[in-house]
Structure 1
Amino acid sequence: MVWEEAGVAVTDPQHSVTDAAEDCNTPPPVQRVAGTEPRVCGEVPRTHKTLRALSSAALALPGLASSVQATAAMERQWDLGYFNYVEGGARMRVEGLKQGLVLPLGEALELRVNGVRDTISGASPIYNVPVIRCRDGRVFTAPVISVSGASGNPQSGGPPPERPPLNTGECRLSSAQQVLLEDTFQDVRTAGDFKLDYTRGDTILGLGAGVSQERDYDSRFLALDLRRAFNDKLTTLALGYSLAADTFSPLNRPGFSGDKDAHQFLLGLTQVLSRNDLLQINLTLGDDRGYLSDPYKNVYLLATNTAIEESRPDRRRQWNLLARYNHYFAELKAALHLDYRYSWSDWGIEAQTLEAAWIQPLGQGWQLVPRLRYYTQGEADFYRSYFETLPSSGDYSSDYRLAGFGALSGGLKLTRQLSAQARLDLGVEFYDRQSDYGLQGHTESTFADYGFTLYSLSLHLEF
């Protein structure tokens, strides 16, 4: 669950926290801008992305996420969960509480209601600056205007210090380093959604909607999906559409507000291959329009020694393919889940994900679920760690989530069935982002490497 990955708009409800991080292109509103927004992605950063992304992954909140499965709870269900996300380097920390309620309304209707409230705090990267190294051993950090933690924008701090000339052969540009907010920030997100499913024969029609609110970001979404079973219920076809409308008023730009609309279309097929094998394929198209830049991210210009706001295209289209294979090993009473995801966007970001999970019952109500995941993405066409001059295209960003990189993540979940109606889940996940892990061509971005750990606790009740 690393919102840091810019390529994979996944519409499947099974992905874990680690998925969210990299499925940063998912239309649902849950991704804020601010800082180590773990879900990297070509996704348009918006207010505290980490917060929204983390929550959506943990709760599978909005949009089409629930449309790919035709599960119907036979009894009332209540889920209560807590998660704690901590990044290395004293950067981001997120704590969240979530609740979910499933209410069958007769034989044909089922209502699902979710709510989440989480808090985020920490320091966030703003832009990058190059390091200058000279033959005589001197090392300079390219002088920049100071950055205010309250606004996230450069502030005038008098004339910048001198730097050595770069055209004499005595000094050269070296690696870059991130500039963080001078102080930490805090924010709170409150979100809720509902999903109503109507079942008639082999067809399920779903309607969902939800809202998410923060100090500087409001998001609303509406989703429709249709699932139809064929071939003695061995084949299921899923169609879906969701629309998210976001409005934000960045704290560093009083009087300004920006709007974004995100459309997502889904076509899915689930096929039972045998008694122990199942195959699922989902294809989604996302179309985002509006103000897609991150008002809290800047780029550094070497020519003028200043930092200015980034500028991204006002439209992004992205294709995503998910292929999932599940196999049940009867002799071990265990199941293997294999996922492959491919994503491509017209921002030039191509991403791939491989994931494996093993579900192993241990007896006496215990179950263990280890999982491992690898993610790789190429950089956006308009990404550079810093710019010598502005490109003629008018699009430029130094957001590390748009860089090329790879990531290894994994987790372990331990489940205890307390009774026929109660289940307790304990989980831990880790994430390690490294520029060197990436397979696609990219520029060096080791300055943005980091990791995080996420702990979760949840209780599931049926009544």
Structure 2
Amino acid sequence: MASVEVGVAATDRPRSIAASAECSDGSRSVQIASAARTASGGAQGVNKTISALTSAALALPGLASSVQAAGPMERQWDVGYFHYEEGGERMRVESLKQSLVLPLGDALDLTLNAVRDTISGASPIYNVPEIRCQDGRVFTAPVISVSGASGNAEPRGTRPERPPLNTGDCRLGSARQVMLEDTFQDVRTAGDFKLNYYRGDTSLGLGAGVSSEQDYDSRFLALDLRREINDRLTTLTFGYSLASDTFSPLNKPDFSGDKDAHQILLGLTQVLGRNDLLQINLTLGYDQGYLTDPYKNVYLLSTNEAIDESRPDSRRQWNLLARYNHYFTAFKAALHLDYRYSRSDWGIEAHTLEAAWIQPLGQGWHLVPRLRYYTQSEADFYRSYFETLPASGDYSSDYRLAGFGALGGGLKLTRQVTSQARLDLGVEFYDRQSAYGLQEHTDSAFADYGFTIYSLNLHLEF
């Protein structure tokens, strides 16, 4: 779940569980769009093997929607159910996603998508250290309760006295997270479309969509252009998207913040031979506006209070994706290897390694195991808590901006029930641990957690 793990989002509530298995570089609307198209052309000896490679790609979570045909796609309908649940009785999401593809003549096809997420549970607000003194006194910070129903914030209990740390009698202990009340509930509804136009070796895609929650509205526009060259063995891809978001936090009824996000993708897909496919994508992103999370606080040790976090009002980020697919004729199976590198001017540097094996089992069955490793450094302005506010004016204790590592994986079983119907069952897991991180970072073991996603999807062609 790229949207879950990289700490750059406006809020940690999952925007789309259906999209959580897709690529973390944010380029899922245009990446590997040319892979299946390559299978329809090119050298005679390459056709069958590459077709098997790209057909296997359809079995990977998150890739089915981005693989395009050489011309308008056949009429098809997908409906999927997803259940996302974090450990420790944190966030839970029930998601229903539908997708309809309609060919419009010989040169056009239209894809319509709709998603409805029901979100509930608790999430961390800020972190507090435990302070123990030799005389047995224990100091903790005041806990602020944020209600999901009203969004009102209020302190619980009386603020304790600031302990005398400079005497040596009192020492800082481990930190702990203060959680948003588990009464929080919200519903997200989203819809989008994409219109593809095909002409010879070139295809042009135009898409747009909207998403609405109780406190968050988003609109986006996307454009992608694909051009096949070299006897259709090489595909060049260009993509651009613009998203405009408005945040109206429940705990700040008289405030709203706007954000614009621009993204450019440059891609190259190359058929290397009968059994091999290589893809390289470079994605450049620029966000500007309200990037702070209004539900996150930082704890100040100097005054023993929690205040709103503050992030920069812009972010530049670039991502590099390298993907290699190999088809093993002896096993009639495909291996997918991915490496992603991401860097932003917030100081976060991330690496992702992922492998998937697509294995036919006979009689229409396919098994797809996946493994994934992720590591990131912490943001320049992240601390688990602060002694005093930094002079830069930027400060956050959001666990998503900490340095950490994560292990993930999943298993997907597909059954081609008929020539026109396919059923997919899947489970994914994610384990975030501060100790898994490779880059130098402050220990954030108190924020470690995991989640599981269960999915069921029905694909029909008619």
- Whether TM-score is above 0.5 comes out as yes
Partner of 1:97: 96
The one-letter code of the counterpart of 2:458 is L
Which of 32, 41, 44 does residue 9 from structure 2 map onto? 44
Partner of 2:147: 149
Distance 1:294 1:219 in 2: 15
Q: Matches of residues 380-459 of structure 1 in structure 2 within 5 Å? A: 380-459=379-458
Task: Say which one has the larger Rg.
Answer: 2
Q: 1:50 to 1:154 in 2, by over 3 A?
A: closer
Q: Which stretch has the larger CA shift, 152-161 or 367-376? A: 152-161
Distance 2:214 2:447 in 1: 27
Residue correspondences, number: 425
Distance 1:80 1:139 in 2: 57
Deviation at 1:339, TM superposition (A): 0.1
Say whether the 8 Å CA contact 1:64–1:241 is kept in structure 2: no
Partner of 1:167, secondary structure, is helix
Say whether the 8 Å CA contact 1:143–1:162 is kept in structure 2: no
Say whether the 8 Å CA contact 1:129–1:141 is kept in structure 2: no
1:341-363 C-alpha deviation (Å, 9 max, x unpaired):
00000000000000000000000
Partner of 2:395, secondary structure, is coil
Say whether the 8 Å CA contact 2:356–2:371 is kept in structure 1: yes
Distance 2:77 2:137 in 1: 58
Partner of 1:389, secondary structure, is coil
Partner of 1:298: 297
For the pair 1:189 / 2:201, whether they are aligned, the reply is: no
The one-letter code of the counterpart of 2:120 is S
Distance 1:407 1:446 in 2: 12
RMSD: 1.8
Q: 1:52 to 1:96 in 2, by over 3 A?
A: same
Distance 1:42 1:121 in 2: 20
1:90-145 C-alpha deviation (Å, 9 max, x unpaired):
11110000000111111100111100101011011100000113345x46252215
Q: Matches of residues 338-357 of structure 1 in structure 2 within 5 Å? A: 338-357=337-356
Q: 1:375 to 1:58 in 2, by over 3 A?
A: closer
Q: Matches of residues 87-166 of structure 1 in structure 2 within 5 Å? A: 87-135=86-134, 138=136, 140-150=138-148, 154-157=153-156, 159-162=158-161, 164-166=163-165
Q: TM-score, with normalisation over the residues of structure 1?
A: 0.89
1:304-355 C-alpha deviation (Å, 9 max, x unpaired):
1111100000000001000000000001000000000000000000000000
Deviation at 1:54, TM superposition (A): 2.3
Q: Matches of residues 301-380 of structure 1 in structure 2 within 5 Å? A: 301-380=300-379
Distance 2:409 2:301 in 1: 39
Partner of 2:98, secondary structure, is strand
The one-letter code of the counterpart of 1:140 is V
For the pair 1:78 / 2:77, whether they are aligned, the reply is: yes
Partner of 1:391, secondary structure, is coil
Say whether the 8 Å CA contact 1:63–1:221 is kept in structure 2: no
Deviation at 1:209, TM superposition (A): 0.3
Deviation at 1:257, TM superposition (A): 0.9
Say whether the 8 Å CA contact 1:366–1:417 is kept in structure 2: yes
Identity of matched residues, %: 76
Deviation at 1:160, TM superposition (A): 1.1
Q: TM-score, with normalisation over the residues of structure 2?
A: 0.89
